[in-house]
Amino acid sequence: MASDSAPHFSSRDAVVCRGVGKTWAAGTRRAHEALRDVDLDIAPGEFVVFLGPSGCGKSTLLYLVAGLEEATDGRIAAFGDPVEAPSPERSLIFQETSLFPWLTVWQNVSFGLSIRGVGIEERKQIARQALQRVGLAEAMDKRPDELSGGMRQRVAVARALAMRPKVLLMDEPFAALDVQTRSRMQDFLLDVWRDSGASILFVTHHIDEAVALADRVVIFTARPGRIKTIVPISIPRPRDPFSPQCEALRKELTELLRAEVDRAFAEQEALADAV
């Protein structure tokens, strides 16, 4: 595309999506449209939660923002620059963290820095700081298999923080944890977010998680995922999940989501019938 027709992205926005679409296996018989026409602006330091029925393209959008996959339509920019490849400024954290089992916790946390050529003493110090921020400074020399699932996810967050990301991309990071651990992890994440200043794009299909965390909730339609609506949340943190405001918000989000979940189910049933 000619550069003079390229839109100008403001460097004041952490992430900008303009008309973003993704068709997997585009141009083949297996072509599969996952996302359509997504417009979204995310401010520095903003906490945005993506909520939508499963299969609506939430993970796909995170991969596009991470630069791991290319959009088939539209454009994505981070701090004014087009996203063309992965960058340590945008760290992605998955549900199942893969830590290297043969490395200690601090070596795992500083792994990305070693690739950057940072020396061992500096790496150890940065790892210690990052682990302090997730409350795991004493676990520096442990191996991943000595940690609980919740602790391993905190190590994953520390590993992302060690790279000083401006944007944290989190794909259902707490989905494999039990309910109590998940709620502790949400509190912990809010603390980390506050002192990191990073923007967070957080995928979940749990309405409670969206209510606990978000500045704004982006609700997606069933596949192909489009933005159905964006719900800003002004309830001050820490939020009491049983407060009338949170109850009302939960009800609003449930209703917005219900129609899309029904549509996603109907589509899956139609697909199953067709096989």
Ligand X SMILES: Nc1ncnc2c1ncn2[C@@H]1O[C@H](COP(=O)(O)OP(=O)(O)O)[C@@H](O)[C@H]1O
Residues of this chain that interact with Mg ion (CB under 5 A) are 59
Instruction: Name which of 52 and 150 has its Cβ closer to Mg ion.
Output: 52
Of 168-227, which residues contact ligand X (CB under 6 A)? 223
Contact 230, 216 (CB under 8 A): yes
Q: Of the listed pieces 49-57, 79-87, 134-142, 193-201, which binds ligand X according to CB under 6 A?
A: 49-57
- Write down the least CB distance from residue 199 to ligand X, Å: 19
Question: What minimum distance in Å lies between the beta carbon of 74 and ligand X?
Answer: 16
Cα separation values, 194 from 70, 75, 116, 190, 215, Å: 30, 29, 26, 6, 12
Q: Per CB under 6 A, does 44 bind ligand X?
A: no
Min dist CB 37 to ligand X, Å, is 15
Q: Rounded to an integer, what distance in angstroms lies between the CA atom of residue 92 and that of residue 98?
A: 12
State the nearest-atom distance from the C-beta of 20 to ligand X, in Å: 13
Report the residue closest to Mg ion, judged by CB: 59
Beta strands in the chain (DSSP E): 15-24, 32-42, 47-51, 73-78, 81-82, 90-93, 167-171, 199-204, 216-220, 227-232
Whether the Cβ atoms of residue 246 and residue 240 lie closer than 8 Å to each other? yes
Of 21 and 144, which has the nearer Cβ to Mg ion?
21
User: Contact positions toward ligand X, by CB under 6 A?
Assistant: 24-25, 32, 34, 52, 54-60, 223
